[in-house]
A = this chain, B = another copy of it.
Amino acid sequence: MESKRVCVIGAGPSGMAVLFHLNRQIKRNEMEVVCFEKTSHSGGMWNYDWRTGTDVNGEPVHGGMYRHLWLNLPKECAELPDYTYEHHFGKNIPSFLPREVFLDYLKGRWRSEGDLEKWIRFNTVVRHVRYDNASETFHVQVEDLAKRKLLPSEAFDYVLVASGHFSTPNFPDFPGLNQFPGRVSHSHDFRDASEYAGKRVLAIGGSVSAEDVAIQCVKFGAKSVICSSRSEMNYDWPSSISVRPILQKVEGKKCFFEDGSWSEVDAIVFCTGYLHHFPYLDDNLRLKTSNVLYPPNLYKGIVWMGSNGDGSQNGGNRLLYIGMNNLLYTITFLEIEGYWAVKYIIGEVKLPRKQEMVDEWKLWVERSKKIRSVREVPPFQSSYMRYLSDECGYPYDVNVDDLFDEIASHKYGPNQGIITCRDMSFTSKFTGNKSPSKKLPFMEEFDDSLEGFVNVNYEQRGSKL
Protein backbone atom coordinates (compact mmCIF):
# COMPACT_ATOMS: atom_id res chain seq x y z
CA MET A 1 0.00 0.00 0.00
CA GLU A 2 1.26 3.42 -0.89
CA SER A 3 1.81 5.69 2.10
CA LYS A 4 -0.58 8.60 2.62
CA ARG A 5 0.85 12.06 2.22
CA VAL A 6 -0.10 14.59 4.90
CA CYS A 7 0.52 18.32 4.53
CA VAL A 8 0.50 20.54 7.63
CA ILE A 9 0.52 24.28 6.99
CA GLY A 10 2.28 26.17 9.76
CA ALA A 11 4.53 25.05 12.64
CA GLY A 12 2.93 27.11 15.38
CA PRO A 13 1.11 25.62 18.38
CA SER A 14 -1.66 24.22 16.14
CA GLY A 15 0.63 22.59 13.62
CA MET A 16 3.01 21.30 16.29
CA ALA A 17 0.13 19.66 18.17
CA VAL A 18 -0.66 17.77 14.97
CA LEU A 19 2.98 16.80 14.35
CA PHE A 20 3.32 15.69 17.97
CA HIS A 21 0.46 13.23 17.72
CA LEU A 22 1.31 12.13 14.21
CA ASN A 23 4.75 11.22 15.49
CA ARG A 24 3.26 9.33 18.38
CA GLN A 25 0.51 7.56 16.47
CA ILE A 26 1.60 6.69 12.98
CA LYS A 27 3.54 3.60 12.11
CA ARG A 28 6.74 3.86 10.13
CA ASN A 29 6.08 4.40 6.40
CA GLU A 30 2.34 4.56 6.94
CA MET A 31 2.36 8.30 6.31
CA GLU A 32 4.60 10.84 4.68
CA VAL A 33 4.31 14.09 6.61
CA VAL A 34 5.42 17.51 5.42
CA CYS A 35 4.92 20.70 7.41
CA PHE A 36 5.46 23.97 5.56
CA GLU A 37 6.55 26.86 7.76
CA LYS A 38 7.23 30.27 6.26
CA THR A 39 9.57 31.42 9.04
CA SER A 40 12.82 29.83 10.13
CA HIS A 41 11.46 28.44 13.39
CA SER A 42 8.60 26.62 15.08
CA GLY A 43 6.37 28.26 17.66
CA GLY A 44 4.43 30.57 15.34
CA MET A 45 3.01 33.67 16.96
CA TRP A 46 4.80 32.99 20.24
CA ASN A 47 8.11 34.05 18.75
CA TYR A 48 9.11 37.67 19.15
CA ASP A 49 9.96 39.37 15.86
CA TRP A 50 11.39 42.88 16.03
CA ARG A 51 10.22 43.48 12.46
CA THR A 52 6.81 44.81 11.57
CA GLY A 53 5.18 44.78 8.15
CA THR A 54 7.17 42.30 6.14
CA ASP A 55 9.85 39.85 7.17
CA VAL A 56 13.31 39.27 5.79
CA ASN A 57 11.80 37.45 2.80
CA GLY A 58 9.21 40.09 2.05
CA GLU A 59 6.37 37.97 3.47
CA PRO A 60 3.91 39.53 5.93
CA VAL A 61 5.28 39.27 9.48
CA HIS A 62 3.40 36.44 11.15
CA GLY A 63 3.47 37.31 14.82
CA GLY A 64 2.24 40.26 16.82
CA MET A 65 4.10 39.59 20.06
CA TYR A 66 5.48 42.54 21.96
CA ARG A 67 8.66 42.52 23.96
CA HIS A 68 7.13 42.69 27.40
CA LEU A 69 4.09 40.52 26.88
CA TRP A 70 2.98 38.35 29.76
CA LEU A 71 0.16 35.86 29.37
CA ASN A 72 -3.18 37.22 30.47
CA LEU A 73 -4.27 33.86 31.82
CA PRO A 74 -2.41 31.73 34.37
CA LYS A 75 -0.37 28.81 33.15
CA GLU A 76 -2.77 26.53 35.02
CA CYS A 77 -5.34 27.33 32.30
CA ALA A 78 -2.87 26.29 29.61
CA GLU A 79 -1.23 23.18 31.03
CA LEU A 80 -0.96 19.82 29.34
CA PRO A 81 -1.87 16.94 31.67
CA ASP A 82 1.05 14.79 30.55
CA TYR A 83 3.61 17.59 30.46
CA THR A 84 3.22 19.90 33.43
CA TYR A 85 5.05 23.16 33.98
CA GLU A 86 6.52 21.72 37.15
CA HIS A 87 7.95 18.84 35.15
CA HIS A 88 9.32 21.10 32.43
CA PHE A 89 11.00 23.65 34.70
CA GLY A 90 11.92 21.18 37.44
CA LYS A 91 10.11 23.28 40.00
CA ASN A 92 6.97 25.25 40.57
CA ILE A 93 7.02 28.76 39.14
CA PRO A 94 4.47 31.61 39.38
CA SER A 95 1.14 31.41 37.57
CA PHE A 96 1.48 34.28 35.10
CA LEU A 97 4.28 33.83 32.59
CA PRO A 98 6.25 36.13 30.34
CA ARG A 99 6.04 35.15 26.67
CA GLU A 100 9.53 33.68 26.53
CA VAL A 101 8.86 31.37 29.46
CA PHE A 102 5.67 30.07 27.90
CA LEU A 103 7.42 29.46 24.57
CA ASP A 104 10.16 27.56 26.39
CA TYR A 105 7.50 25.29 27.88
CA LEU A 106 5.92 24.68 24.47
CA LYS A 107 9.28 23.87 22.91
CA GLY A 108 10.04 21.46 25.73
CA ARG A 109 6.77 19.71 25.13
CA TRP A 110 7.49 19.34 21.43
CA ARG A 111 11.05 18.15 22.03
CA SER A 112 9.72 15.57 24.48
CA GLU A 113 8.31 13.64 21.53
CA GLY A 114 11.66 13.55 19.74
CA ASP A 115 12.58 15.31 16.56
CA LEU A 116 9.41 16.78 15.09
CA GLU A 117 11.41 19.22 13.01
CA LYS A 118 12.43 16.40 10.69
CA TRP A 119 9.08 17.01 9.00
CA ILE A 120 9.23 20.79 8.84
CA ARG A 121 10.35 22.62 5.74
CA PHE A 122 11.29 26.00 7.15
CA ASN A 123 11.40 29.20 5.08
CA THR A 124 8.78 27.69 2.83
CA VAL A 125 5.51 29.48 2.25
CA VAL A 126 2.41 27.88 0.78
CA ARG A 127 1.28 29.82 -2.27
CA HIS A 128 -1.59 27.74 -3.57
CA VAL A 129 -3.72 24.79 -2.49
CA ARG A 130 -6.36 23.24 -4.69
CA TYR A 131 -8.23 19.97 -4.62
CA ASP A 132 -8.47 17.86 -7.72
CA ASN A 133 -11.70 15.89 -7.71
CA ALA A 134 -10.59 13.50 -10.44
CA SER A 135 -7.46 12.28 -8.66
CA GLU A 136 -8.87 12.97 -5.19
CA THR A 137 -5.67 14.72 -4.16
CA PHE A 138 -4.65 18.15 -3.05
CA HIS A 139 -2.12 20.04 -5.13
CA VAL A 140 0.02 22.23 -2.95
CA GLN A 141 2.39 24.75 -4.43
CA VAL A 142 5.01 26.27 -2.17
CA GLU A 143 7.81 28.77 -2.51
CA ASP A 144 11.26 28.13 -1.14
CA LEU A 145 11.93 31.56 0.31
CA ALA A 146 15.63 31.00 0.85
CA LYS A 147 16.09 30.14 -2.81
CA ARG A 148 13.32 32.53 -3.87
CA LYS A 149 11.93 29.74 -6.00
CA LEU A 150 8.34 28.67 -6.57
CA LEU A 151 8.43 24.88 -6.59
CA PRO A 152 6.30 22.53 -8.68
CA SER A 153 3.04 21.41 -7.07
CA GLU A 154 3.12 18.45 -4.73
CA ALA A 155 0.23 16.04 -4.25
CA PHE A 156 -1.18 15.32 -0.80
CA ASP A 157 -4.00 13.19 0.56
CA TYR A 158 -4.61 15.39 3.58
CA VAL A 159 -4.11 19.09 4.17
CA LEU A 160 -4.22 20.52 7.69
CA VAL A 161 -4.58 24.27 7.82
CA ALA A 162 -2.78 25.40 10.97
CA SER A 163 -1.60 28.84 9.92
CA GLY A 164 -3.36 30.68 12.71
CA HIS A 165 -5.70 33.62 12.74
CA PHE A 166 -3.76 36.28 14.63
CA SER A 167 -1.63 37.44 11.72
CA THR A 168 -3.73 39.59 9.44
CA PRO A 169 -5.04 42.72 11.14
CA ASN A 170 -8.64 43.81 11.00
CA PHE A 171 -7.88 47.44 10.28
CA PRO A 172 -10.99 49.60 9.79
CA ASP A 173 -10.97 53.26 8.80
CA PHE A 174 -12.09 56.34 10.72
CA PRO A 175 -12.50 59.79 9.18
CA GLY A 176 -9.45 62.00 9.53
CA LEU A 177 -6.78 59.37 10.12
CA ASN A 178 -4.97 60.40 6.94
CA GLN A 179 -4.22 63.73 8.63
CA PHE A 180 -3.30 62.45 12.07
CA PRO A 181 0.14 63.78 13.07
CA GLY A 182 1.52 60.78 14.92
CA ARG A 183 1.90 57.06 14.70
CA VAL A 184 -1.18 55.03 13.81
CA SER A 185 -0.67 51.30 14.05
CA HIS A 186 -2.40 48.01 14.65
CA SER A 187 -1.63 46.04 17.81
CA HIS A 188 -0.09 43.42 15.51
CA ASP A 189 2.76 45.93 15.07
CA PHE A 190 3.00 46.78 18.78
CA ARG A 191 6.53 45.84 19.83
CA ASP A 192 7.93 47.84 22.72
CA ALA A 193 5.73 50.07 24.86
CA SER A 194 8.77 52.23 25.70
CA GLU A 195 8.07 53.98 22.42
CA TYR A 196 4.99 55.53 24.01
CA ALA A 197 6.69 56.88 27.14
CA GLY A 198 5.41 60.37 27.85
CA LYS A 199 2.74 60.10 25.16
CA ARG A 200 -1.03 60.20 25.19
CA VAL A 201 -2.23 57.02 23.53
CA LEU A 202 -5.59 56.04 22.10
CA ALA A 203 -6.26 52.28 22.04
CA ILE A 204 -9.21 51.44 19.83
CA GLY A 205 -10.96 48.22 20.80
CA GLY A 206 -12.77 46.66 23.71
CA SER A 207 -11.17 43.29 24.17
CA VAL A 208 -8.01 41.73 25.57
CA SER A 209 -5.69 43.46 23.08
CA ALA A 210 -6.89 46.91 24.08
CA GLU A 211 -6.71 46.00 27.76
CA ASP A 212 -3.18 44.77 27.49
CA VAL A 213 -1.87 47.51 25.20
CA ALA A 214 -3.27 50.05 27.66
CA ILE A 215 -1.60 48.33 30.60
CA GLN A 216 1.69 47.97 28.73
CA CYS A 217 1.74 51.63 27.75
CA VAL A 218 1.10 52.76 31.31
CA LYS A 219 3.65 50.32 32.69
CA PHE A 220 6.30 51.77 30.38
CA GLY A 221 5.58 55.40 31.06
CA ALA A 222 2.80 56.58 28.76
CA LYS A 223 1.24 59.79 30.04
CA SER A 224 -2.28 58.49 29.53
CA VAL A 225 -4.26 55.91 27.62
CA ILE A 226 -7.82 56.13 26.39
CA CYS A 227 -9.55 52.87 25.52
CA SER A 228 -12.25 53.57 22.98
CA SER A 229 -14.72 50.81 22.30
CA ARG A 230 -18.26 49.73 21.65
CA SER A 231 -18.17 47.34 24.59
CA GLU A 232 -17.99 48.07 28.28
CA MET A 233 -14.60 47.94 29.95
CA ASN A 234 -15.55 48.43 33.58
CA TYR A 235 -12.35 47.52 35.31
CA ASP A 236 -10.52 48.94 38.24
CA TRP A 237 -8.24 50.95 35.93
CA PRO A 238 -5.34 53.04 37.18
CA SER A 239 -5.98 56.77 36.95
CA SER A 240 -3.95 57.12 33.75
CA ILE A 241 -6.28 54.79 31.83
CA SER A 242 -9.76 55.94 30.92
CA VAL A 243 -12.54 54.46 28.84
CA ARG A 244 -14.58 56.20 26.14
CA PRO A 245 -17.19 55.16 23.61
CA ILE A 246 -16.13 54.32 20.08
CA LEU A 247 -14.16 56.84 18.03
CA GLN A 248 -16.09 58.87 15.49
CA LYS A 249 -13.48 61.00 13.77
CA VAL A 250 -10.06 62.53 14.10
CA GLU A 251 -9.14 66.17 13.49
CA GLY A 252 -5.43 66.80 13.85
CA LYS A 253 -4.61 65.31 17.23
CA LYS A 254 -8.18 65.63 18.47
CA CYS A 255 -10.14 62.41 18.68
CA PHE A 256 -13.91 62.72 18.87
CA PHE A 257 -15.96 59.98 20.50
CA GLU A 258 -19.53 58.88 20.08
CA ASP A 259 -20.69 60.62 23.26
CA GLY A 260 -19.53 63.98 21.91
CA SER A 261 -16.42 64.12 24.07
CA TRP A 262 -12.95 64.62 22.61
CA SER A 263 -9.33 64.34 23.65
CA GLU A 264 -5.97 65.06 22.12
CA VAL A 265 -3.69 62.07 21.68
CA ASP A 266 -0.19 61.57 20.31
CA ALA A 267 -0.52 58.03 19.01
CA ILE A 268 -3.27 55.62 18.04
CA VAL A 269 -3.16 51.84 18.36
CA PHE A 270 -5.87 49.76 16.70
CA CYS A 271 -6.72 46.82 18.94
CA THR A 272 -9.39 45.69 16.56
CA GLY A 273 -8.49 42.06 16.16
CA TYR A 274 -7.68 39.95 13.16
CA LEU A 275 -9.04 38.49 9.97
CA HIS A 276 -9.21 34.81 9.13
CA HIS A 277 -7.08 35.10 6.02
CA PHE A 278 -6.15 32.21 3.76
CA PRO A 279 -5.05 33.80 0.49
CA TYR A 280 -3.33 30.56 -0.51
CA LEU A 281 -6.45 28.40 -0.46
CA ASP A 282 -8.68 27.85 -3.44
CA ASP A 283 -12.00 29.55 -2.95
CA ASN A 284 -14.01 26.39 -2.40
CA LEU A 285 -11.57 25.29 0.31
CA ARG A 286 -11.48 28.57 2.15
CA LEU A 287 -12.94 29.06 5.60
CA LYS A 288 -14.62 32.45 5.73
CA THR A 289 -15.45 33.50 9.24
CA SER A 290 -14.91 36.16 11.83
CA ASN A 291 -13.28 35.24 15.14
CA VAL A 292 -16.16 33.28 16.68
CA LEU A 293 -16.46 30.45 19.17
CA TYR A 294 -17.42 27.92 16.53
CA PRO A 295 -16.74 28.80 12.88
CA PRO A 296 -19.26 27.54 10.32
CA ASN A 297 -18.80 24.72 7.82
CA LEU A 298 -16.51 22.63 10.01
CA TYR A 299 -17.59 19.21 11.23
CA LYS A 300 -16.21 18.74 14.74
CA GLY A 301 -14.77 22.24 14.30
CA ILE A 302 -12.13 20.58 12.12
CA VAL A 303 -13.32 18.85 8.93
CA TRP A 304 -14.08 21.19 6.04
CA MET A 305 -17.64 20.76 4.81
CA GLY A 306 -17.32 23.03 1.75
CA SER A 307 -18.33 26.65 1.34
CA ASN A 308 -21.99 25.70 1.53
CA GLY A 309 -21.35 23.57 4.58
CA ASP A 310 -23.21 20.66 3.00
CA GLY A 311 -20.25 18.45 2.26
CA SER A 312 -20.04 19.33 -1.44
CA GLN A 313 -16.74 20.61 -2.87
CA ASN A 314 -15.13 19.98 0.46
CA GLY A 315 -11.79 18.43 -0.44
CA GLY A 316 -13.06 14.91 0.09
CA ASN A 317 -13.34 15.29 3.89
CA ARG A 318 -9.56 15.55 3.94
CA LEU A 319 -9.10 19.26 4.46
CA LEU A 320 -8.78 19.85 8.20
CA TYR A 321 -8.63 23.15 10.06
CA ILE A 322 -6.91 23.31 13.45
CA GLY A 323 -7.41 26.11 15.97
CA MET A 324 -9.73 28.34 13.99
CA ASN A 325 -12.04 29.38 16.81
CA ASN A 326 -11.81 32.17 19.34
CA LEU A 327 -9.89 30.72 22.27
CA LEU A 328 -9.94 30.89 26.04
CA TYR A 329 -8.71 27.37 26.44
CA THR A 330 -5.61 27.45 24.26
CA ILE A 331 -3.03 24.70 24.08
CA THR A 332 -5.20 22.03 25.63
CA PHE A 333 -7.81 22.90 23.04
CA LEU A 334 -5.28 22.60 20.20
CA GLU A 335 -3.95 19.41 21.76
CA ILE A 336 -7.32 17.74 21.59
CA GLU A 337 -8.05 19.01 18.09
CA GLY A 338 -4.66 17.72 16.98
CA TYR A 339 -5.28 14.39 18.69
CA TRP A 340 -8.70 14.01 17.08
CA ALA A 341 -7.33 14.98 13.65
CA VAL A 342 -4.55 12.41 13.87
CA LYS A 343 -6.89 9.66 15.04
CA TYR A 344 -9.11 10.52 12.10
CA ILE A 345 -6.23 10.49 9.61
CA ILE A 346 -5.01 7.09 10.79
CA GLY A 347 -8.53 5.75 10.50
CA GLU A 348 -9.39 5.20 14.16
CA VAL A 349 -12.08 7.85 14.07
CA LYS A 350 -14.75 7.44 11.40
CA LEU A 351 -17.07 10.03 9.97
CA PRO A 352 -20.83 9.60 10.21
CA ARG A 353 -23.11 10.04 7.21
CA LYS A 354 -22.91 13.40 5.49
CA GLN A 355 -26.24 14.66 6.80
CA GLU A 356 -25.24 13.90 10.36
CA MET A 357 -22.04 15.88 9.88
CA VAL A 358 -24.03 18.82 8.56
CA ASP A 359 -26.53 18.64 11.39
CA GLU A 360 -23.77 18.45 13.98
CA TRP A 361 -21.77 21.49 12.90
CA LYS A 362 -24.96 23.51 12.62
CA LEU A 363 -25.96 22.48 16.12
CA TRP A 364 -22.61 23.61 17.51
CA VAL A 365 -22.80 26.92 15.71
CA GLU A 366 -26.28 27.43 17.17
CA ARG A 367 -25.01 26.60 20.64
CA SER A 368 -22.06 28.96 20.25
CA LYS A 369 -24.31 31.82 19.23
CA LYS A 370 -26.20 31.59 22.50
CA ILE A 371 -23.08 32.45 24.50
CA ARG A 372 -23.62 35.91 25.93
CA SER A 373 -20.89 36.44 28.51
CA VAL A 374 -17.21 35.59 28.68
CA ARG A 375 -17.98 33.44 31.73
CA GLU A 376 -19.98 31.06 29.58
CA VAL A 377 -17.06 30.47 27.23
CA PRO A 378 -14.98 28.00 29.28
CA PRO A 379 -17.91 25.61 29.89
CA PHE A 380 -18.77 25.82 26.18
CA GLN A 381 -15.21 25.03 25.17
CA SER A 382 -14.95 22.24 27.76
CA SER A 383 -18.03 20.60 26.38
CA TYR A 384 -16.59 20.89 22.87
CA MET A 385 -13.32 19.32 23.99
CA ARG A 386 -15.24 16.52 25.69
CA TYR A 387 -17.19 16.04 22.46
CA LEU A 388 -13.89 15.40 20.66
CA SER A 389 -12.20 13.50 23.49
CA ASP A 390 -15.07 11.07 23.96
CA GLU A 391 -14.85 10.06 20.35
CA CYS A 392 -11.11 9.94 19.78
CA GLY A 393 -10.17 8.56 23.18
CA TYR A 394 -7.99 11.43 24.35
CA PRO A 395 -7.11 10.04 27.78
CA TYR A 396 -7.12 13.13 30.00
CA ASP A 397 -9.65 15.48 31.49
CA VAL A 398 -8.46 19.02 30.85
CA ASN A 399 -11.48 20.83 32.25
CA VAL A 400 -10.35 23.80 34.36
CA ASP A 401 -13.57 25.79 34.13
CA ASP A 402 -13.31 26.53 37.84
CA LEU A 403 -9.97 28.29 37.30
CA PHE A 404 -11.37 30.45 34.53
CA ASP A 405 -14.22 31.32 36.82
CA GLU A 406 -11.88 32.26 39.63
CA ILE A 407 -9.95 34.61 37.31
CA ALA A 408 -13.13 36.16 36.01
CA SER A 409 -14.24 36.78 39.58
CA HIS A 410 -11.07 38.69 40.21
CA LYS A 411 -10.81 40.52 36.90
CA TYR A 412 -14.42 41.59 36.80
CA GLY A 413 -14.92 41.74 40.57
CA PRO A 414 -15.33 45.07 42.32
CA ASN A 415 -12.14 45.08 44.37
CA GLN A 416 -9.49 43.21 42.48
CA GLY A 417 -9.31 44.67 39.05
CA ILE A 418 -7.38 44.10 35.94
CA ILE A 419 -3.96 45.33 37.03
CA THR A 420 -3.41 43.04 40.01
CA CYS A 421 -4.84 40.02 38.23
CA ARG A 422 -1.39 38.85 37.10
CA ASP A 423 -0.17 38.73 40.70
CA MET A 424 -2.51 35.91 41.64
CA SER A 425 -1.50 32.29 42.19
CA PHE A 426 -3.41 29.24 41.09
CA THR A 427 -3.29 25.53 41.71
CA SER A 428 -2.37 23.10 38.97
CA LYS A 429 -5.08 20.57 38.23
CA PHE A 430 -2.43 18.03 37.40
CA THR A 431 0.15 18.45 40.18
CA GLY A 432 -2.22 19.70 42.87
CA ASN A 433 0.37 22.32 43.79
CA LYS A 434 -0.32 26.00 44.17
CA SER A 435 2.06 28.29 42.31
CA PRO A 436 4.43 30.54 44.26
CA SER A 437 4.22 34.33 44.14
CA LYS A 438 6.39 36.37 41.81
CA LYS A 439 9.37 38.34 43.11
CA LEU A 440 7.61 41.58 42.32
CA PRO A 441 4.10 42.57 41.29
CA PHE A 442 3.60 42.53 37.51
CA MET A 443 3.53 46.31 37.25
CA GLU A 444 6.90 46.60 38.99
CA GLU A 445 8.63 43.71 37.23
CA PHE A 446 10.58 44.80 34.16
CA ASP A 447 12.67 41.70 33.72
CA ASP A 448 10.65 39.23 31.70
CA SER A 449 13.52 37.18 30.37
CA LEU A 450 13.47 33.40 30.68
CA GLU A 451 16.49 33.42 33.00
CA GLY A 452 15.21 36.30 35.09
CA PHE A 453 11.91 34.57 35.60
CA VAL A 454 12.95 30.97 36.09
CA ASN A 455 16.22 31.33 38.02
CA VAL A 456 14.53 32.45 41.22
CA ASN A 457 14.22 30.51 44.46
CA TYR A 458 10.46 30.43 44.51
CA GLU A 459 8.76 29.00 47.55
CA GLN A 460 7.79 25.41 46.70
CA ARG A 461 4.43 24.84 48.34
CA GLY A 462 3.64 21.17 48.73
CA SER A 463 5.73 20.21 45.76
CA LYS A 464 5.44 16.57 44.90
CA LEU A 465 8.67 16.54 42.94
Contact = CB atoms under 8 A, between A and B. Distances in A.
Interface in A43-61: 48-56, 58-61
Interface residues of A, number: 51
B188 A181 contact: no
Contacts of A179: 67
A342 to B, nearest CB: 29
B56 A189 contact: no
Interface string A380-411: 00000000000000000000000000000000
A192 interface: yes
Interface in A146-190: 148-151, 168-169, 171-173, 177-186, 188-189
B192 A182 contact: yes
A150 B195 CA distance: 39
Given A51-B171, A60-B60, A178-B50, A279 B127 contact: yes
Contacts of A143: 279
A50 B180 contact: yes
Interface string A296-322: 000000000000000000000000000
9 contacts: A48-B178, A52-B189, A53-B186, A58-B169, A60-B60, A127-B128, A150-B286, A151-B283, A180-B192
Given A53-B169, A53-B188, A184-B191, 17 more contacts: A51-B171, A52-B52, A53-B60, A54-B60, A54-B168, A54-B171, A55-B171, A56-B171, A56-B172, A67-B178, A127-B128, A127-B279, A143-B279, A150-B282, A182-B192, A183-B191, A183-B192
